[in-house]
Amino acid sequence: MLARPARSVAAALTAFLGWLRALEPAQYYQPEAELHHTVLSLFTATADYAPHLEHLPAYRAAVADAIAEVPPFTIAVSGVTLAPGAVLAQGFPQDGTLAAVRERLRAALGARGLGGALDRRYRLETAHMTLVRFASPLRDAARFVDAVAAARATDFGASEVDGLELVLGDWYHTAAHERELARYRLDGARPRAT
């Protein structure tokens, strides 16, 4: 389950990535169209999705039940941080809606016997976006770290999340390997998958 950032947020992050790319062009930079907040990984990226796709109607029903009557919510994106192997944009939900959606998804999937792959790698609680993945050693690590540190408190804007996407994708959620399975509108009413 993904939430996409507002266009203005994505554009601000892309401008920042251009600055980093000029310093370290050999790294993997998330393209603007692929920026996303992971709401919850219903199952870990795998080469064989067939066992999960057999249960797609149940996944869709669980998501629809979990987000019933959930209103739109806001994620502010402020600052970046270094993580092992990546640069992350820091996302800050402005209320408890994202956390509630995650818990409701976990409960709805578990009730249908679909919760076995949830939180397999780690329990998702943040609203970060991965911006850069280190694909090779840095040419000038100190300069790159300084550039990231300079953006530690940069305000990239805020996104009102009024829809969620159920997608199948690779580890990076590259557009070429991503397939949308359903889209859900958050409007505080009973959701409609499209």
CB 107 within 8 A of CB 141: no
Span 171-190, pLDDT tens digits: 555 555 556 788 999 987 65
Q: Which of 15-19, 26-30, 104-108, 150-154 has the lowest mean pLDDT?
A: 104-108
Number of helical (H) and strand (E) elements in the chain, helices listed first: 5, 9
Looking up residue 153, the CATH number of its domain turns out to be: 3.90.1140.10
pLDDT at 159: 98
pLDDT at 49: 57
Q: 82 pLDDT exceeds 70?
A: yes
Span 3-55, pLDDT tens digits: 999 999 999 999 999 999 999 999 999 999 999 999 988 766 555 556 666 77
Task: Show the tokens assigned to 187.
Answer: 């409007």
Spatial distance between the Cα atoms of 78 and 83, rounded to a whole number of angstroms: 16
**Count of domains for the chain:** 1
pLDDT at 18: 98
Burial of 98 (0-12, 13-18, 19+ CB in 10 A): buried
pTM comes to 0.87
Q: 113 in a domain, yes or no? A: yes
Q: 192 in a domain, yes or no? A: no
Is pLDDT larger for residue 169 or for residue 64? 64
CB-CB neighbours of 102 under 10 Å: 20
Q: 190 in a domain, yes or no? A: no
Q: 175 in a domain, yes or no? A: yes
Mean pLDDT of 91-104: 96
Spatial distance between the Cα atoms of 191 and 118, rounded to a whole number of angstroms: 22
Q: 16 in a domain, yes or no? A: yes
The CA–CA distances, whole Å, from 153 to 33, 113, 150 equal: 24, 42, 8
Is pLDDT larger for residue 90 or for residue 49? 90
Is pLDDT larger for residue 64 or for residue 167? 64
pLDDT at 175: 54
Question: With pLDDT > 90 as the criterion, what percentage of the chain qualifies?
Answer: 64
Domain coverage including residue 129? 2-185
Residue 56 banded pLDDT, cuts 50, 70, 90: confident
Q: 143 in a domain, yes or no? A: yes
Residue 116 banded pLDDT, cuts 50, 70, 90: low
Task: Show the tokens assigned to 145.
Answer: 């770290």
Q: 139 in a domain, yes or no? A: yes
Q: 191 in a domain, yes or no? A: no
